[in-house]
Structure 1
Amino acid sequence: MSEKKQPKKQWFENESFWNNYGPIMFDANRWAEAPAVAQSICKIAGLKKGSSVLDAGCGPGRISVELALLGMNVTGVDLIQSELEAAKETAEAENVSLNLIKADLRNFESENKFDCAVNLYTSFGYCATIEEDVQILQKIYSNLKKDGWFILENLSRETAILYFTEGEWFERAGKTVLTEFHVEGAWEGLRSKWILIDNKTGQRMEHEFVQRLYSGVELKRILTGIGFSTVEVYGDFDFSPYNEKARTMVVVAKK
């Protein structure tokens, strides 16, 4: 009997990528905005001290820790061990407790259901197929309590068009960073190429990936089809309209 062939790892499952690129993506500005985002989440979902929150794709704990500081019972799930370790260190530094779990969101199932789940800072749309993306949303739905809330912040097709740039360069975390962006298909995805050059050693690294782009209407249909009773799309965490002035896309769904 032949051995079952293991599926090829997708780029976001590569721990070395996050070790090199994480400090670039999660810069000081991203950390500085975290307290306000956490407060908005609590307001949107009507959370109180002791409410349970699933941070789906928690990364280094940027939002998880802030939610815990507000008194939430937070479970952070991520596929990358080094990111979970960074979240643990941040939580310890802030003297808060997090329940951190290494798991794939495509098949993560919790016995304890949550009052709220969040997936933030463009952490969605990277799977090889649309079906896998939807699988993540289905699992989040199943992990929520009845009347639980799901808040998704993501780069949408509309915001990708609004703020499209062909590329840029900047200095961050001791590296020179060059980026190139290209549209995939009929705005079905955004191909990103990131080149890092270490300012001390001159070592060069580059990585290319595609993020699938969903419109607000598409996500609303998908989430409604999964079973969410209400789904609204906003242009920011302050309930501002999702229109030509939208800063980002924030989807608020209730089970």
Structure 2
Amino acid sequence: MTTADLFDSIAPFYDEVHHQQDDIEFYRDLALECDGPVLEVGCGTGRIYLELRRAGVDVTGIDVSADSLEHLRDKAAQDDLAVDVRQADMRTFDPEPGREYALIIVPFRTFLFLQTVDERLAVLESFYSALGPDGRLALNAFVPDPVFVAEHYGEWRAQELEVNGERYTYRTRSTVVDTVEQRVRIRTEVLDANESLVVDSSYDLSLVSKAEFELLFRLSPFASWEVFGDFELNSLETATQEMVWIAE
């Protein structure tokens, strides 16, 4: 199953599962601070993208999932919001000729879908080339924590949802599938009220440490970068925090 297939399958449930993330204000404030258009990579069903549009930001969104983008467009239409979104992969996205972005955001660990060093460097170079003078890149990723992996990977984590008046159980399980390349697989299942399986899909993420991110930025065209431990830009001190990177 491709990443696009996965997110197509969970698109109807995505907003209910991920509506409580605390990153929206951070990315919105960054977008409002910059002088120029914004690109959101992995805009999905519009959790962040639509908040940027409501704030008046000139933002383009890309995502691999056509179904997720359809949900985004439906929500935008309900609020009479004009949107500029398209189906594209960050590995191959080609910006409009002559369009330079003041800010590129890659929220909610989307960068971790890149599986190799070559892919990560190529995408960073592509991001850099799409930025205008003084442009910035912002992304976030979890801190790989071997203690958490040892204690919790392999367990199902479930939550109850209500979507369009129907009850569902949404559950995920993470397992390490490649200890050398540091790759994990997240399996997602959705069961209806009769406990019938309506979604069964999985995707792989890479475990990328702070040191590896540092090396990637050193090898990239970016001139400077900072890492923080949360969306309030506190220092990164523990593995329970979220890495928040800003590069220029």
TM range (shorter): 0.7 to 0.9
| 1:112-131 alpha-carbon deviations (Å, 9 max, x no partner) | 01000001112122245332
Kept in 1: contact 2:11–2:71 (CA 8 A): no
Query: Do the aligned residues in 2 keep the contact of 1:150 with 1:253 (CA within 8 Å)?
Result: yes
Map 1:126-165 → 2, pairs under 5 A: 126-158=113-145, 165=152
What secondary structure is seen at the aligned counterpart in 2 of 1:68? helix
1:106 aligned to 87, 91, 112, which one? 91
CA RMSD in angstroms, aligned pairs only:
2.6
Aligned residue for 1:97? 82
Instruction: Tell which deviates more after alignment, 165-174 or 219-228.
Output: 165-174
Contact 2:24 2:51 in 1 (8 A): yes
- The answer to whether the Cα contact below 8 Å between 2:23 and 2:231 also exists between their aligned partners in 1 is no
User: Which residue pairs with 2:172 in the alignment?
Assistant: 179
Specify whether residues 234 and 34 from structure 1 end up closer, same or farther in structure 2 by C-alpha distance, changes over 3 A only. closer
Amino acid at match of 1:30: H
**Aligned pairs (5 A) from 1:1-255:** 11-14=2-5, 17-27=6-16, 30=19, 33=22, 35-42=24-31, 46-47=33-34, 51-110=36-95, 111=97, 112-158=99-145, 165-166=152-153, 167=155, 168-173=157-162, 174-183=167-176, 184-185=178-179, 188-200=182-194, 202-244=196-238, 246-254=240-248
The amino acid across from 2:175 in the alignment is H
Letter in 1 for 2:187: K
Moved more, 100-109 or 116-125: 100-109
Q: Percent identity of the aligned residues? A: 21
State whether residues 31 and 62 of structure 1, in contact with CA within 8 Å, keep that contact through their aligned partners in structure 2: no
How many residues matched? 238
Q: Partner of 1:125: helix, strand, or coil? A: helix
State the secondary structure of the residue aligned to 1:27: helix
1:154 and 1:117, CA in 2 relative to 1: closer, same or farther beyond 3 A? same
The worse-fitting range, judged by mean Cα deviation, of 115-124 and 63-72 is 63-72
Aligned partners of 2:23, 2:246: CA distance in 1, in Å? 18
Structure 1 residue ranges, 4+ long, deviating more than 6 angstroms after superposition: none
Which amino acid letter does the alignment assign opposite residue 115 of structure 1?
A
Provide the TM-score with structure 2 as the length reference. Answer: 0.83
Q: Which runs of 5+ in 1 are unaligned?
A: 1-9
What CA deviation, in whole Å up to 9, does each residue of 1:52-85 have, x standing for no partner? Answer: 1000111111111111222210000112222222
Aligned to 1:4: none
Greater relative contact order (CA < 8 Å, ≥ 6 in sequence): 2
Q: Deviations over 1:228-249 (max 9, x none)?
A: 1111111112111111165311
Q: Distance in 2 between matches of 1:13 and 1:83?
A: 9
CA distance in 2, matches of 1:236, 1:71: 25
Q: Return the offset for 1:35.
A: 4.4
Structure 2 CA distance for partners of 1:124 and 1:24, relative to 1, 3 Å: farther
Once residues 181 and 230 of structure 2 are traced to their aligned partners in structure 1, the CA distance between those partners, rounded to angstroms, is: 22
3-state DSSP of counterpart to 2:171: strand
Q: How far 1:161 sits from its partner (Å)?
A: 5.0
